[in-house]
Structure 1
Amino acid sequence: MSPRAGSAGPHTLAFVESPVQLLNVLEWAYSNALQDPGAGLTLVVLSPTDPMTRGQLRRMAELARDEGYEVRWEEARGGPTAPFHTIGGLAGVLRRADRIVMGDPFSRYVQLLLTITRARELVVVDDGTATMEFVAQLARGERLVRWHRKGGRPGPRDLLFAPVSSSARRRLTPSAHRTVEVFSSMPIDSVPEGVKVTRNDFSWTRVRFGPPRLTKGADLVGTSLVETGVVDGDRYLEAVRALAKAHGATRYFAHRRESTDKLRRLAAETGLEIVRPDLPLELIARRGPIGRTILSFPSTVVHTLPLALVGTEVRVAVCDIDPTWLTENASPRAQGFLSGVTGTARDVHRLSAVSMA
């Protein structure tokens, strides 16, 4: 039992499925320490199957335990019966929790768990750019759908799950009996009525790590836009090669969802050193060593890295996605959404789409 698990304050249950979500729960907990120092926090990791994600989650879980929080690791996807065992095992603590913190309101797992809870306080912490879309959809009263999903009619699984998704959306709407907070470093324009938005400025990260030692060169940050079917793989490789050549980048920090085959090809055809981080990039960059320039395509890091690296001499530069790079299966909303991610980023240097010549 952790030092805080049995504290007298209201108990908080946090559900995370990615390393970044776990990092942002720690940031949320740190920012709330003065207002609610006695609150117990239990982190529930709904473990995915991807080895890279699992490895980063293990490392983040260690950091959470070092902070004194209880961590409960659930093999939530470890076979056909795993979801039933996980949900059944969590039902009791879910009903007793006063506050639920979640990293991904689009997650069907989380939406199922929300149907069980009686918590009067719900908190959504950042899951990157998806947070922007979640808040916008909540404000418009739309069903919760990830931005990169292709438009059109819902599939059979969507229709089957629709009642649960609708219930989750209702629970994530503030009422006289329930408060909803969004803890985010992302730009949020249209805030639903009654939703409290709290700024995540990465205070915990800056206090615990760094400042970093800076190298002379540039580093490039990878993206999973190819894996999600948004950007064409060949076009992406050409863009990385051109960007690295133009700015003298030597290292490529891979996104945890990037495929091994793609990374192997990138290394062979660009000469970049492929780095597979064992922690979220915000922590990697803060610990250093890191390049004086960090190059990225539109992604969460163009918003989070300037905050994590405030006070250092690191420059974050973002390269636009050319519309011709998009696949025919990309959502009709993809280009506008990606442009919005870039256009709303603060304290970054904006690059035009690189020339393929």
Structure 2
Amino acid sequence: MSRPDVPPGPAAGETLAFVESPVQLLNVLEWVYEDRLRSQDARDPRTPLSPPASGGDAPRGAAVLPGAGPHPGAAEARSGISAPTSFPGGEAARGADVLLGIGARPGPPAEARSDPAAPAGGVTVVVLSPNDPMTRGQLRRMAELAREEGLTVRWEDARGGPAAPFHTIGALAPAVRRARRIVIGDPFSRYVQLLLTLARARELVVVDDGTATMEFVSQLARGERLVRWHRSGRGGGPRDAVFAPVSAVARRRLTPREGHRSVEVFSSMPVEPPAGVLVTPNDFAWTRARFGPPALTGGADLVGTSLAETGVVDLDRYVGAVTALARAHGATRYFAHRRENTDKLHRLAVETGLEIVRPDLPLELIARRGPIGRTIVSFPSTVVHTLPLALAGTDVKVAVCDIDPAWLTDTASPRAQGFLSGVTGTARDVHRLSSVPAAAP
């Protein structure tokens, strides 16, 4: 159901954005910043999202998990912020204020922010909230930042029960039909595809949803159905067959038609767009303007991935690889992906000795504010493309470790190895690790 304290939707001619993850909401903020700068260059009275003075405090950034234990979902329900946890046999978890040396940020002064009532306004972000507590917590923190920048945020508990999708689609339908411009973060989302069948907007914008953007653009260019890269590719089930007509309509909506509909992709990924699609580079200008530069620690940090959770990489192989990388680079912290499960993180803490950090903001913001290691080591993922941009002008080195084909599971998509190699091979301004000691099966 819609939150009662937000407007029902945008007025005609305004912009409606749909997001389902914290990274998507971050990239909507980046797109709005860029769009307003472009409008300013065209002598439009709109103003960009304004940066505060450098060195200002950032929002609370992470919860630290030194061992294992259930994630405190109740805290998310109360405050929207993932609370620190302590593990049996380990020291009590320290909040991000201790770990990162930052406190709650009150936001820039009113006179420095975009005026929500100015012509620059008219951007409503609809959060189609998932059920995962970590994702919800990060989304609530990002929603706070979006509101500080003059955007309207409408929170939809879109998965709050069997009837929730029907209520959500019905409640959003009038706003979708009125919107002049629609911005989406996940073109593979069935929720978004359903909403696109209702859209009459003449402008569609796709902002980054990480590496999935690369696959989306490739599929759009080839005229293929929209399927996530890590899906097995062994044929869809009955639900896929039923949903196929909706997906086909959404794909047509995401195809530009001269004189009728424009399509823009706002991306930090290396993409080759089909004819007629405008690609606008995302260089994380808003992030760099608002946060940092970061203080640097003397060591290295590892970035986690959910490749084991999605069934792409064998868990034992993954743990072995993390252990080897931590030893090789002297890493002390492991920044967990929001989808990594607690049992896996507990195992990593015990077997590697790493301090497990669950950020409650996207890593680009955490790293930009710091403190952060002088070296950040990651497996193939979005951050090998985004962190060098967010950390431009600093002395941080980003290194990426390839996925050995032997680590892949028997059920991994046939496209997995090629896709992951492409993520690594196209990354700019990163140090590519040629090998890692063999991970134990």
CA distance in 2, matches of 1:106, 1:204: 26
Partner of 1:282: 364
What percentage of aligned pairs have identical amino acids?
A: 79
Normalised to the residue count of structure 2, the TM-score between the two structures is 0.79
**In structure 2, what is the equivalent of residue 178 of structure 1?**
261
> 1:249 matched to which residue of 2?
331
Compute the displacement of 1:6 (Å): 7.9
Q: Name 1:17's counterpart in structure 2.
A: 20
Q: Which residue of 2 aligns with 1:187?
A: 270
Structure 1 counterpart of 2:25, one-letter code: L
* Cα deviation 1:233-286 (Å, max 9, x = unaligned): 000000000000000000000000001110011001100000000100000000
Instruction: Give the Cα–Cα distance (whole angstroms) in 2 for the partners of residues 94 and 336 of structure 1.
Output: 37
Instruction: Select the residue among 48, 51, 58 that pairs with 2:140.
Output: 58
Amino acid in the other structure paired with 2:420: L
Give the paired residue count: 354
Q: Distance in 2 between matches of 1:352 and 1:73?
A: 44
Classify the secondary structure of the residue corresponding to 1:276: strand
SS at match of 2:155: strand
Rg comparison, structure with higher value: 2
Partner of 2:241: 159
> 1:351, CA displacement in angstroms?
0.2
Offset at residue 155 of structure 1 (A): 1.2
Equivalent residue letter for 2:348: L
Residue 151 of structure 1: how far off its partner (Å): 1.5
8 A contact 2:10–2:179 mirrored in 1: no
Alignment match of 1:33 (pick from 20, 31, 36): 36
Q: What stretches of structure 2 of length at least 5 have no aligned partner? A: 40-45, 47-118
* Alpha-carbon distance in structure 1 between the residues aligned to 2:136 and 2:268: 24
Cα distance between partner residues in 1 of 2:37 and 2:218 = 30
Instruction: Indicate conservation of the 8 Å contact 1:148/1:330, yes or no.
Output: yes
Q: Could you tell me the TM-score, scaled by structure 1's length?
A: 0.97
Are 1:209 and 2:212 matched, yes or no?
no
Comparing 244-253 with 31-40, greater Cα deviation is found at 31-40
| Cα separation, 1, equivalents of 2:343 and 2:202 | 46
Q: Following superposition, which runs of at least 4 residues in structure 1 exceed 6 angstroms of deviation?
A: none
CA contact (8 A) 2:10 2:124 kept: no
Alignment of 1:70-85 (within 5 A): 70-85=152-167
- 1:153 Cα deviation from its structure 2 partner: 1.8
- Separation of aligned partners in 2, 1:35 and 1:281: 27
Distance in 2 (alpha carbons) for counterparts of 1:6 and 1:252: 41
Contact 1:321 1:353 in 2 (8 A): no
RMSD: 1.5
Q: CA deviation at 1:35?
A: 3.2
SS in 2 for 1:183: strand
| 2:38 aligned counterpart, secondary structure | coil
Q: SS in structure 2 opposite 1:34? A: helix
Structure 2 equivalent of residue 91 of structure 1:
173
2:426 is the counterpart of 1:344: yes
Aligned to 2:64: none
Q: C-alpha deviations, 1:71-114, integer Å up to 9, x for none?
A: 00000000000001111111111111000000000000000000
In the alignment, does 2:126 pair up with 1:44? yes
Give 1:100's match in structure 2, choosing from 175, 182, 186: 182
Bigger relative CO (Cα 8 Å, ≥ 6 apart): 2
Q: Kindly state the Cα deviation for residue 128 of structure 1 after the two structures are TM-superposed.
A: 0.4
| Cα-to-partner distance string for 1:200-238 (whole Å, 9 max, x where unaligned) | 000000000000000000000000000110000000000
User: Taking structure 1 as reference, are residues 175 and 272 closer, same or farther at Cα in structure 2, changes over 3 Å only?
Assistant: same
Mapped partners of 2:139, 2:236: distance in 1: 31
- Is 1:299 the equivalent of 2:302? no
The structural deviation recorded for 1:10 is 3.5
- Please show how residues 1-12 of structure 1 align to structure 2 within 5 Å: 10-12=13-15
1:181 maps to amino acid: E
Counterparts of 2:403 and 2:188, CA distance in 1: 25
Alpha-carbon separation, structure 2, partners of 1:310 and 1:340: 22
Distance 1:149 1:353 in 2: 27
Q: Is the 8 A contact 2:320 2:438 kept in 1?
A: yes
CA offset at residue 34 of structure 1? 2.9
